[in-house]
Chains A and B, each alone.
Chain A
Amino acid sequence: MAMQKDMMGRAVRDSFAKLDPRVQIQNPVMFLVWLSAVMTSVLAVASVFGVQDAGVPTYYVVAIAVILWLTDLFSNFAEALAEGRGKAQADSLRAAKKDVEAHRIESVEDKEHFTVVPGTELTRGDLVIVRAGEQIPGDGDVIEGAASVDESAITGESAPVVREAGGDRSAVTGGTTVLSDWIIVKISSEPGQSFLDKMIAMVEGAARKKTPNEIALEIFLVALSIVFILVTLALYCYSCFSAGLNDMANPTSVTTLVALLVCLAPTTIGALLSAIGIAGMSRLNEANVLAMSGRAIEAAGDVDILMLDKTGTITLGNRQASEFIPVDGVDPAELADAAQLSSLADETPEGRSIVVLAKEQFGLRGRTLEDKGMEFIPFTAATRMSGVNYEGNEIRKGAADSVRAYVEAAGGVFSAECDEVVERIAKAGGTPLVVAKNRRVLGVVYLKDIIKSGVKEKFADLRKMGIKTIMVTGDNPLTAAAIAAEAGVDDFLAEATPEGKLEKIREFQREGHLVAMTGDGTNDAPALAQADVAVAMNTGTQAAKEAGNMVDLDSSPTKLIDIVRIGKQLLMTRGSLTTFSVANDVAKYFAIIPALFSPIYPGLGALNILGLASPLSAVLSAIIYNALVIVALIPAALKGVKYREVPSGQLLTHNLLVWGLGGIIAPFVFIKLIDMLLAFCGIM
């Protein structure tokens, strides 16, 4: 709560600081309001000293000037509030970036002799050694050693992660802390360019550039403003001329015209535009995703193909044994026994699931490796089997073709029945694991991929929105097809290689699709670089992070779906508030035009359909509404408009009803209420 108050206080202070014209000019619509405020202030001062604007009282001019300044401040407040969240996040990141001493070494061999240098002076290529309890001084790759690292400063995740030399878990980030052991890190970033630096800049909004879509919208808003400037200028001329045709003095005051201009100009969206963009970025940050540019978030809204890794996204990370299928008349219990024995020392989830299944189905339990002097044979790339040797027995389990080769090499038979079972399992999307004892095939263990609950519905929703999901897996096409059908994805890429992924992305892009993918390994880098939205896992390698345009700090494979949602929501918020802003103008015209012209043509009073108390109160009510609506819409701008996974037509209808029709009706209601309040208070 104190935090909230603090943020509010900071936002209020910033709102005033942002009144600087050099800041205002960044936002042309609000700059117009700023100029109008200056102009009416001058008129107000002149009015106080007796130089009257055509027939309007001093208090009216002063009131308009004050409201115009408030309008500007409200807009600044919205922006400051949006930035505030980022600033708070940046502050905590900065705390992590406090100066650390680095122990620089000359070479990997000579790790005992180091020189102490400030972490900020490290450049690309320097080697540092980091021991338990020390903070890693900069981004880099582990080139020797392994350590558990606390990355909570960046990810907010308290569980430590292992970082080790070689492979896909070698990247470390400056500002994280080594908890145990030691590592030698080769620094990969220049001073001031580290991941943490970029992150701070991003969340603070310092590196925020207007995105193409924002620029396009701004062009529309500026064009509308220019037309309204012309409308009000022309109005003054028309009014002079018409008054002349009716032989009377021009009754239109400059103050009222300025008020009309501000009312008509798309100030609502103009005021909230930058807040919407910043808030979109912070929503992404809250989801623990770091976008390298605002552009990437917008692209996420456009994505229509998601390339999802099977493991972790569509299926639970591991396959589980679901059935023992004996062949050639073998007793099921014998198969289960052999399978369990061979898996006792197998620490993989698959292995453990075999032990559990055997226990559940056949009550086999309580054995350890020591029992029979068993020797565990681990899985190797050469044999592609694992197993156990005990008391002269030899049990092996592995993929069908490896076991076939193993059995047949010893003159054994790999029966047609076994072949059939293997094929049946593969077709059903499972993984067959053939078990052989003493070079005789006993049967097959059916390993099943477990589809995550709810993904099928999720994909159906995505499909309704026009987003296709492509499952990427290293499985063979048969298995992949079965899982794809079960999970309800639209297509799959089986036996995927990094090159295959890259080619698939290119193919989709040629057809005009926008593709999103996640990746972590170095070999994912080319595909990540090619994809329109590329989310690199924070656990991934430096190369992957650099190739992607977002980093997922949680390294969660399902994050892609959230990113798409945030991107769409950002664009929808922009569109909805623009619609609302423009729709508001209808009511404002009905409030102000009769007020302006009824002195010339009393008949135009009939357009005062709201029955506003007086011309002056009509203009004041409209401009007060115009200022207050900005405040009222700040929550919508910061949180984003409601988002549902439905087809575009339904989304459009819904948003048009809420923001379009609402935008036409709301000002009629509220301008009338404000007018009644003004009349009630006797101000007018």
Chain B
Amino acid sequence: MSAIIQYALYFAVLIALAIPLGKFMARVMDGEHTFLSPVLAPVERGVYRLLRIDAGEQMGWKRYLASVLAFSGIGLVVLIALQMLQAVLPGNPQHLPGVSWDLSFNTAASFITNTNWQSYSGETTLSYLVQFMGLTVQNFVSAGTGIAVMFALIRGFRQVKEQGLGSFWVDLTRTVLYVLIPLNLVFGICLAAGGVISNFQPAQKAELVEPVAVQPNADGGWSVIDGAQIEGDTVKVDGKVVEDARVVTEQFLPQGPAAPQVAIKQSGTNGGGFFGVNSAHPYENPSAFTNIIEMTSLLLIPAACCFTFGIGVKNTKQGKAIFAAMFILLVIFTGVIAVNEHAGTPQLADSGAVNIEMTDGQAGGNMEGKESRFGIATSSTWSAYTTAASNGSVNSMHDSYTPLGGFVQMLQMALGEVVFGGVGCGLYGMIGFAILTVFIAGLMVGRTPEFLGKKIEPGEMRWAVVLCLATPFAILVCSAIACMVPGLADQLNNGGAHGFSEVLYAFTSCGGNNGSAFAGMNCNIPWINVILGLEMLFARFMPIVGTLAIAGSLAKKGKVAESAGTLSTTNGMFVFLLVFIVLLIGALSFFPALALGPVAEFFQMIA
């Protein structure tokens, strides 16, 4: 019961905040007066003057696209340079060395595409300068880019026989200035108040309450010795001295400006943790209070985008319908994860060693890889949220979920991140699916299809399929290539179906621009870094090309009048169909892959 209250609370908070934010963003899009205008309007004008931006410019879709690509391209180059040169740049109290070319490319691609896939551990790889001036900046502007492209799409629907989709520079400036900065200021302060660290100190050391003994392992690292007896510097197991053992008495406590980056990594659907274990780290997400802030902010802007879209295209019902479709999918997926995690596995129950009962003192179910301060409900909801939105931050270990829990996580990413998805991009991805749905359903009522009064013709269809199928395309191609590279199996923690899941998850996460990690696969080797980097770039920019092309083509069209013969795109039937088409395309593309991974694992589990 308490678990159900938790789920209901999380959903309710999300909806309650998304609606007003959506309305606010619609005003920002059109440059209308908001309560922040007295403070920010002069700043906005200053930015335009400084950068010589023509605030009234109306870009055609190609020019808009060129601006997006140029902006992202420059971001990519700067980010690579920052990382490779971090050793000679300031803001590096740990004296970390420059990052390798392949990891720099991978990380740069990851952050400009709003993916935030991390082949590295932040605290041991990147300097504060890179984190703060490189990654955090991209966290803002890559999110802003997604929203800007969505604005352009909205104008495409709204324009009648026109060319202009607005100015990318204005959209980006307004989004960052009015939406992302104020929102994250609030989140950041709340998080810092809740205990998320925020400082510029080098890492600290602390004495362990109880020393542990380690010995070198085959991978060149260290493993904890089970059942060791520590006497001073000598380590004994069953009375025998272990020669190469070492005793560890101190703990490494990473520090840094975490709170602001955590705020934007959540709200901008970035997901790149300040620390390697992301929001499972007690410095990044210490309590239930910070957790609900982080979790809600994770889906807040993507959910608000639905309402912004509705207001923007002057059909608020349409916004609600899109929201309903996404929300239904989210509830279904959260439900499947939750049921499976609460149930645990037969293996946990069988051994008798694990009590998977839910009691007052414990969450029960499959607690492997989950923080005990969060439990099943909060971990499951987070994992559903983070794979629904293309966020990718985690507060638990996805590798340790039950097979069907992991199945849902992968499926949500494989669907193309349209269950709310990334800021802006989730919405325009869903519009791509809506166009496909309208096309099929529209034909069935005996009319050539139309959506929001615009005829869907070959031009729109061509780009809609690019928009919807770029993700499956990227995932299938890249994972298939990777499977054929000899030696991939050596990078995995597990064999069998779970091993395949680890590979599939990595490629699905990058192809969905999600960035969450199943872990269990070592991805920091050159060819994997490069292929994943390319996959992220493709999966991000092909849909942007498609979206802007659709916007450009729609803007030029006249509006068709609505009648009783027009297919309604706002009723329950359409929502149902949209959900169905999203699931169908996802299932058709990934059923074989998922069958060899989580599904096979599931049947092995219950066998």
Contacts and interface: CB of A to CB of B under 8 A. Distances in A.
- Decide whether A and B assemble into one complex: yes
A244 B448 contact: no
Contacts of B457: 212-213, 216
A653 B567 CA distance: 11
A569 B446 CA distance: 6
B473 interface: yes
Nearest to A229: B476
A220 B439 contact: yes
Interface string A228-244: 10110111111111101
A317 to B, nearest CB: 30
B440 interface: yes
Contacts of B481: 237
A568 B596 contact: no
A578 B559 CA distance: 27
Contact of A220 (B436, B446, B484, B603): B436
A649 B568 contact: yes
B446 A301 contact: yes
Interface stretch (A191-199, A462-470, A613-621): A462-470
A325 B440 CA distance: 60
B179 interface: no
Interface in B447-467: 447-448, 453, 456-458, 460-462, 465
A603 B601 CA distance: 9
B565 A304 contact: yes
Nearest to A603: B603
Interface in A149-183: none
Interface in A607-662: 607, 643, 647-649, 651-653, 655-656, 659
B561 A648 contact: no
Contacts of A505: none
Contact of A648 (B445, B496, B592, B607): B445
Nearest to A643: B446
Interface stretch (A111-119, A126-134, A374-382, A579-587): A579-587
Interface in B534-581: 558-561, 563-568, 571, 573, 577
A662 B552 CA distance: 38
Contact of B448 (A241, A302, A643): A302
B446 A264 contact: no
B356 interface: no
B448 A298 contact: yes
A593 B592 contact: yes
A6 B488 CA distance: 62
Interface in A86-113: none
Contacts of A575: 440-445
A652 B461 contact: no
A608 to B, nearest CB: 11
A412 to B, nearest CB: 53
A241 B489 contact: yes
Contact of B560 (A212, A514, A643): A514
A652 B573 contact: yes
Given A304-B563, A512-B558, A227 B473 contact: yes
Q: Which of A228, A572, A601 has the most CB of B within 10 A?
A: A601
B592 A651 contact: no
B563 A604 contact: no
B527 interface: no
A514 B447 CA distance: 11
Contacts of A246: 495-496
Contacts of B563: 304, 466-468
A358 interface: no
B404 interface: no
Contacts of A347: none
Contact of B588 (A264, A465, A574): A264
Interface string B329-351: 00000000000000000000000
Contacts of A237: 479-481, 483-484
B477 interface: yes
Interface string A451-483: 000000000000111111000000000000000
Interface in A208-261: 212-213, 215-217, 219-220, 223-224, 226-228, 230-231, 233-242, 244-246
Contact of A586 (B440, B495, B565, B587): B587
A373 B349 CA distance: 118
B530 interface: no
B439 A216 contact: yes
Contact of B497 (A264, A299, A582, A601): A601
Given A241-B489, A648-B567, A227 B603 contact: no
Interface in B471-507: 472-473, 476-477, 479-481, 483-484, 488-489, 495-497, 499-500, 503
Interface string B577-607: 1000000100111011101100110111011
Interface residues of A, number: 76
Nearest to A564: B446
B154 interface: no
Contacts of A567: 446
Contact of A233 (B465, B480, B595): B480
B447 A301 contact: yes
A607 B600 CA distance: 10
A643 B600 CA distance: 45
A301 B444 CA distance: 11
Contact of A467 (B456, B565, B588): B565
B144 to A, nearest CB: 30
Interface in A292-306: 298-299, 301-302, 304
Given A241-B484, A578-B440, A652-B444, A585 B596 contact: no
A418 to B, nearest CB: 45
B469 interface: yes
Contacts of A226: 469, 473
B565 A241 contact: no
A2 to B, nearest CB: 36
A245 B496 contact: yes
A239 B566 CA distance: 46
A40 interface: no
Interface string A496-539: 00000000000000011110000000000000000000000000
A219 B464 CA distance: 10
B447 A571 contact: yes
A576 B497 contact: no
Nearest to B462: A219
B462 A238 contact: no
A670 interface: no
A213 B564 contact: no
Interface string A546-589: 00000000000000000000011101101110110010011001
Given A600-B596, A656-B577, 8 more contacts: A237-B483, A299-B448, A512-B558, A576-B444, A593-B591, A649-B571, A652-B445, A655-B445
Interface of B: 436, 439-448, 453, 456-458, 460-462, 465, 469, 472-473, 476-477, 479-481, 483-484, 488-489, 495-497, 499-500, 503, 558-561, 563-568, 571, 573, 577, 584, 587-589, 591-593, 595-596, 599-600, 602-604, 606-607
5 contacts: A231-B588, A234-B476, A304-B565, A568-B446, A571-B446
Which 9 pairs of residues, A with B, have the shortest CB-CB distance? A575-B443, A466-B565, A603-B603, A568-B446, A466-B563, A466-B564, A223-B465, A512-B561, A241-B483
